[in-house]
Structure formats: structure tokens, C-alpha cells
Amino acid sequence: MGRGRMSHAQDQQLERLTFFSDAVFAIAITLLVIEIHVPHPEANTDEAWIQALVDLIPHFAGFILSFFVIGALWAAHHRIFGLLRHYDPSIVWPNLVLLMAVAFMPFSSSLMSTHSTERVPEMFYAFTLLMAGLIQHWVVKRALRAPFLRDDVTDDMIAMARRRSLAMPCMAVVAGVLAYWWPGPSNLPLVLTPVAVMLFARMRKAPPATVTS
């Protein structure tokens, strides 16, 4: 009884934690755009305007890339917390650390877009992704533990989630190393991160056969 009531209250707390996390993800992902500034070409000809928009392409590309990176982090968070039934209060602070890495992304994304062929900004961007990915892996390991999981969550699903959370740190290392020689194009592997995550997501659906309690 006291148990049931406690659980219900804990459910609400879990909901509020995921809610707060969603809000931070949503704000960080939407703030990416405010780093793209409206151009003011000197001549008001069509050619000058088209050139001004062409000059913004690195910013557009950076916006799209970082949108999908934060989107992938959110989708992973969404999936992981969807496996939880109860609320482990000790997850609050690791989760805040993850949100801090996400909230920092508008800065590192803007740094990378503004100086899209410089070695240090590109490596710094890859480094922040590496940190975000590793923190997420840590949160996954902390969150997906026995007493807090939904009944239908199998060991396979947990192992899958852990492995999958290593996709982004790996891609970030590749991008960071490539940035030493080819800053700019070095970000191309990151484009594949969501694809990698989706591939894993597909793989996940396969084994819903054995259900452990």
C-alpha cells in the first residue's frame, strides 16, 4: 500500500525528470538557429544576395549537423528512459551533467560553423561531442539497472542500449582525428551517427521473444 503510493509518486517524479530533460534538449536544439545571423550585403542586387546566402552554407550545414546530433542524443534519452518503470533519485545528477553537455552544444556548434576550416575549432567541436557521448554512456549504465526497469525489459535490450550509446563517442573520435588534417570535411562521419543509431534501433526490435521478469 505505502509501497504503491510511493511508486505512484516516484512515477510522477520520473515523468518530471524526463520532462525537464526534454525541455533542455528542445531549447538547446532550437537555440542552434540564433547563431545564424541575417546577412546585410552591400549591394542589394540578386547576385549579391545569392552570394550572401551561399556564404552562409557552412552555418546552415553546421545547424543541420548539430540538430541531428542533439536529435540523436534526445532520441537515445527518450528510448533509455522509456525502459524505466521507477525513479532512481541517484540518476538526477548524472542526468544534469548530460544536460549540461547538451546545453553547451549551441556554443561549440557556433564555434565550428563560424570557423569551419580551422583545425582547433573543429577538434573542439568533436571533443564536446565525445564528452557528450561518454556522459550519455555513463548515464545509460547508471539508469538501466535492475530494480528500476520495466518488467518487459530484457538483458539483451540493456546490452543493446549500452553498446548503442558508444556509437556517438566513436564517431566523435573519428571526426576529431580527421579534423587534424581536413578540418571541415572531418565532420562528415558525424552525419552517419543518426544512421548508426537507427541501424541499432532496427536491430533492437528483433529479440522481443524472451521476456525476463
d(CA 84, CA 91): 12
Tell me how far, at minimum, the Cβ of 203 lies from a copy of itself, in Å: 13
Q: Hey, is 118 helix, strand or coil? A: coil
> What residues contact 73, with CB distance under 8 A and at least 6 apart?
25, 98, 102, 132, 136, 168
Nearer to a copy of itself, 153 or 172 (CB): 153
Q: How far is the CB of 57 from a copy of itself (least distance, A)?
A: 13
CA atoms of 31 and 109, how far apart (whole Å): 11
Q: Give whichever of 83 and 175 is closer to a copy of itself, judged by the CB atom.
A: 83
Q: What is the DSSP string of 44-108?
A: -SHHHHHHHHHHTHHHHHHHHHHHHHHHHHHHHHHHHHTTB-S--GGGHHHHHHHHHHHHHHHHH
Nearest approach in angstroms of CB 131 to a copy of itself is 12
Closest separation between CB of residue 147 and a copy of itself, Å? 14
List beta partners, residue 84.
Answer: 149
Smallest separation, CB 208 to a copy of itself (Å): 9
Residue placing its CB nearer to a copy of itself in the complex, 53 or 192: 53
Residue closer to a copy of itself, measured from CB, 32 or 160:
32
Distance in Å, CB of 70 to a copy of itself, minimum? 9
Q: Which is nearer to a copy of itself, 28 or 190 (CB)?
A: 28
184: Cβ contacts below 8 Å, ≥ 6 apart: 58, 116, 117, 122
* Shorter beta-carbon distance to a copy of itself: residue 184 or 194: 194
Q: What does the chain come to in residues? A: 213
